[in-house]
Amino acid sequence: SAAGSTTSPAFQYSGVGLFASLIDQQRNASNSDFDLLVTAGDNYLAGPQFEASLRQPTGQLFYDALALDLFNIDVGGIGNHEFDFGPDVLARFIDPDGDGTGFRPFVSSNLVIPNDSPLKTLIQPSTVVTKTVNGVEEKVGVVGVTTPLLRSISSPGNIGTIGDRTGTPGFDGLASAVQAEVDKLTQQGIDKVVLVSHLQDINEEKALAGKLRNVDIIVAAGSDTRLANPDDPLLPLTGETAVPSYPLIYNSQTGNQVQSLADLPTGVAPTVIVSTDGEYKYLGNLQVEFNNGAISSILEPGSGPKRNTNLDGLTERSDLVSQVQNPV
């Protein structure tokens, strides 16, 4: 090139190395005192990267699990792709040592897991995340739900689902299974509840918003719905468009969508839905304030999908490069 000219670095996006740096960036910039990092399922996908994991010796974390571990996630949800290789591979993903304890909590309230399955101790209906904030112990309950279409789109073996639309008890049964788990949490005095939901179609989560009580946030996955507001920069890819808005806000009593928290009647708590697409393209970031167990404000400009790209000054975090990307 001519003397004095500079070339811009190649456009880079996605990947676990950049994603770890994005998580760190958002954690450091967050106004929130309590940070909760969750996935809502499809924690791995079939492909050459996963083939590398299947060659790992017994006792070693699969590469996708190692990435989640290095991200320091709090809770994982369970989607349909977790069962693509059968329940035993999923058990090895969560618990490579085979000692009955997972490397992180994984949750789903509507899976029917036989007592003799290795997954019985590895997937719980819900879990409680406890962190000390300003010297005070704060608790958030996290409940999971998995698509009832599991048997027709994956290979769950002897694992069943509540809410299968091809049989009974249908969608109301699915909602009841979730609500029963939420009620267990609220009876323990936990008044902040997040649902990690993998129902394949965001309309399913929208329907749940009106059927559930005391759920504050639904993290929707499986539909790759890229919720965003006009001021949220997206990746410069062909066809990369936003679905308004981040978050979606619902009246928890009627299930009707509203445009803002101010549109809710006095004393009615909102249920909000967030979603983004997968493949490590975006990190969803919802920042909210609670008052008496209900969301009282949504913090901007912090809330929204954060794109995973070097265009925003991110560089790949070295531990993910050396421990995950390079070995794969």
Report the pLDDT value the prediction gives residue 30, as an integer from 0 to 100: 76
β-pairing verdict for 217-221 and 193-198:
parallel
In terms of pLDDT, which residue wins out, 67 or 32?
Answer: 67
3-class DSSP state of 21: helix
- In order of 58, 60, 84, 103, 327, the CA distances from 97 in angstroms are 7, 7, 21, 9, 20
CB atoms within 10 A of CB 271: 28
Residue 221 in tokens: 């996955």
Burial environment of residue 277 by CB neighbours within 10 A (0 to 12, 13 to 18, 19 or more): middle
Q: What is the mean pLDDT of the chain?
A: 94
> Does residue 328 surpass a pLDDT of 90?
yes
- In order of 13, 80, 168, the CA distances from 152 in angstroms are 33, 10, 15
> Does residue 6 surpass a pLDDT of 60?
no
Least confident range of 5-9, 71-75, 134-138, 238-242: 5-9
Under a CB-based contact definition with an 8 Å cutoff, are residues 64 and 84 in contact? no
Burial environment of residue 104 by CB neighbours within 10 A (0 to 12, 13 to 18, 19 or more): middle
Under a CB-based contact definition with an 8 Å cutoff, are residues 218 and 273 in contact? yes
- Closest C-alpha among 282, 270, 276, 194 to residue 227: 276
Provide the b/e sequence for 13-33 (b: ≥16 CB within 10 Å).
Answer: bbbbbbbbbbbeebeeeeebe
In terms of pLDDT, which residue wins out, 133 or 309?
Answer: 309
- In order of 34, 281, 303, the CA distances from 191 in angstroms are 14, 32, 22
Report the pLDDT value the prediction gives residue 32, as an integer from 0 to 100: 67
Provide the b/e sequence for 166-179 (b: ≥16 CB within 10 Å).
Answer: eeeeebebbbbbbb
> Does residue 194 surpass a pLDDT of 90?
yes
> Does residue 131 surpass a pLDDT of 50?
yes
